[in-house]
């Protein structure tokens, strides 16, 4: 007889990552996932360690928000030890890499680095959807988003939020723009205008630097690639910056295979994990 669990998932995290984790928990609840997280469950007078142990025992899956904050604390490690012990045979540990690299995780716990993880930079909605698909497979039948066709004339730009950008930002925009000039039609002036409309241009510029660095690293060792092949490489990396690649991405490839796409996605995420903590607006 299958064991019945009171909760679908237990979430372990460091207090510094509470903002991200609570947002994740709320998104999971919207998708019908019942989560155990101390913010929702613990009440005044409860014995914390006993309640957390109870939460792990009553949860089918264990979600871990792995970050530098997490690795530097003792208390989440106690939770992690329990989650790993529980998941050895059940295969129900679901890690989220939150601004951290594979090397850092491997140094902390080698077994964790070999477990497939989702990266937080793809966005709360995508992270929660991918987790929910594993926890409740029937959710996979529901679309993550609905594509609606509209006329180009109906697309409106967001407001200008920054009248001027720092000189260092402008130099960085020019630098990565030159690397993709042969495949990206957007001019320097148009790029600057776009970043002025971002809430956090520094963070967005860093993401584009990682995109172009991943692209540059690949094509520099392959001088015979055609423009169309370069465009496909660029498209794969762009997709990797917005989502976890899946079969829908692979079936549209013309020049490269799934293995190449996955390697590009991995390279992008490794670079992003190294750079993400340097973000500033």
Same domain, 35 and 137: yes
Please give the residue range of the domain that contains residue 191.
Answer: 152-278
Q: Which of 110, 141, 172 is the last residue of a domain?
A: 141
Same domain, 173 and 268: yes
Q: Nearest CA to 203 among 127, 96, 276?
A: 276
Same domain, 79 and 183: no
Q: Which of 114, 141, 168 is the last residue of a domain?
A: 141
77 located within any domain: yes
Same domain, 272 and 166: yes
**pLDDT tens for residues 73-130?**
665 555 566 566 555 445 688 888 888 887 888 887 777 777 778 888 878 888 888 8
1 located within any domain: no
Same domain, 166 and 268: yes
Q: Which of 94, 117, 141 is the last residue of a domain?
A: 141
**Number of helices and strands (H, E) in the chain?**
14, 5
**pLDDT tens for residues 265-278?**
989 888 877 665 44
CA angle 55, 124, 218 (to 5 degrees): 120
Give yes or no for residue 216 having a pLDDT over 90: yes
19 located within any domain: yes
Active site residue 79: yes
pTM: 0.52
147 located within any domain: no
CB 184 within 8 A of CB 177: yes
Same domain, 114 and 200: no
CA–CA gap between residue 9 and residue 97 (Å, rounded): 17
**Quick one: which H or E segment has residue 273?**
helix 258-275
CA–CA gap between residue 30 and residue 139 (Å, rounded): 12
User: Which two three-digit tokens encode residue 209?
Assistant: 């630097």
**pLDDT tens for residues 130-162?**
888 888 887 655 555 454 555 545 556 678 888
CA–CA gap between residue 199 and residue 4 (Å, rounded): 44
**Predicted local confidence at residue 148, as pLDDT:** 53
Highest mean pLDDT: which of 54-63, 70-79, 82-91, 256-265? 256-265
Same domain, 169 and 115: no
40 located within any domain: yes
Same domain, 129 and 106: yes
CA–CA gap between residue 53 and residue 46 (Å, rounded): 12
Longest dimension (CA), the chain: 68
Residue 259 CB neighbours (<10 A): 9
Domain containing residue 44: CATH number: 3.40.50.10140
CA–CA gap between residue 48 and residue 50 (Å, rounded): 6
3-state secondary structure of 224: coil
146 located within any domain: no
Same domain, 274 and 225: yes
Same domain, 121 and 220: no
Give yes or no for residue 38 having a pLDDT over 90: no
Which is the catalytic residue, given 6, 54, 79, 213?
Answer: 79
Q: Nearest CA to 107 among 75, 71, 73?
A: 71
Residue 137 CB neighbours (<10 A): 9
CA–CA gap between residue 222 and residue 233 (Å, rounded): 12
Q: Please enumerate in sequence order all residues whose Cβ is within 8 A of that of 131, keeping only pairs 6 or more positions apart, or say none.
A: 9, 28, 33, 63, 94, 96, 118
The domain total for the chain is: 2
CA–CA gap between residue 135 and residue 139 (Å, rounded): 9
């Amino acid at each position: 007889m299958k064991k019945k669990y009171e909760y679908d998932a237990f979430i372990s995290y460091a207090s510094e990552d509470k903002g991200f984790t609570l947002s994740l928990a709320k998104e999971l609840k919207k998708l019908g996932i019942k989560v155990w997280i101390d913010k929702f469950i613990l009440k005044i007078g409860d014995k914390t360690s006993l309640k957390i142990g109870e939460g792990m025992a009553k949860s089918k899956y264990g979600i871990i928000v792995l970050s530098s904050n997490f690795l530097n604390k003792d208390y989440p490690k106690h939770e992690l030890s329990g989650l790993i012990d529980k998941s050895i045979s059940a295969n129900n540990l679901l890690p989220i890499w939150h601004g951290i690299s594979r090397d850092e995780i491997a140094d902390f716990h080698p077994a964790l680095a070999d477990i497939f993880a989702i990266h937080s930079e793809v966005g709360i909605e995508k992270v929660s959807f991918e987790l929910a698909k594993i926890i409740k497979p029937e959710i996979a039948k529901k679309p993550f988003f609905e594509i609606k066709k509209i006329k180009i004339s109906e697309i409106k730009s967001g407001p200008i939020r920054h009248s001027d950008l720092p000189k260092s930002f402008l130099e960085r925009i020019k630098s990565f723009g030159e690397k993709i000039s042969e495949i990206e039609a957007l001019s320097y002036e148009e790029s600057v205008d776009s970043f002025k409309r971002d809430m956090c241009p520094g963070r967005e510029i860093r993401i584009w630097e990682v995109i172009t660095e991943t692209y540059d690293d690949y094509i520099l060792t392959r001088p015979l690639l055609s423009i169309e092949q370069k465009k496909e490489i660029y498209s794969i990396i762009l997709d990797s910056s917005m989502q976890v690649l899946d079969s829908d991405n692979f079936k549209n490839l013309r020049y490269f295979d799934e293995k190449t796409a996955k390697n590009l996605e991995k390279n992008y995420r490794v670079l992003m994990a190294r750079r993400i903590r340097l973000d500033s607006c």
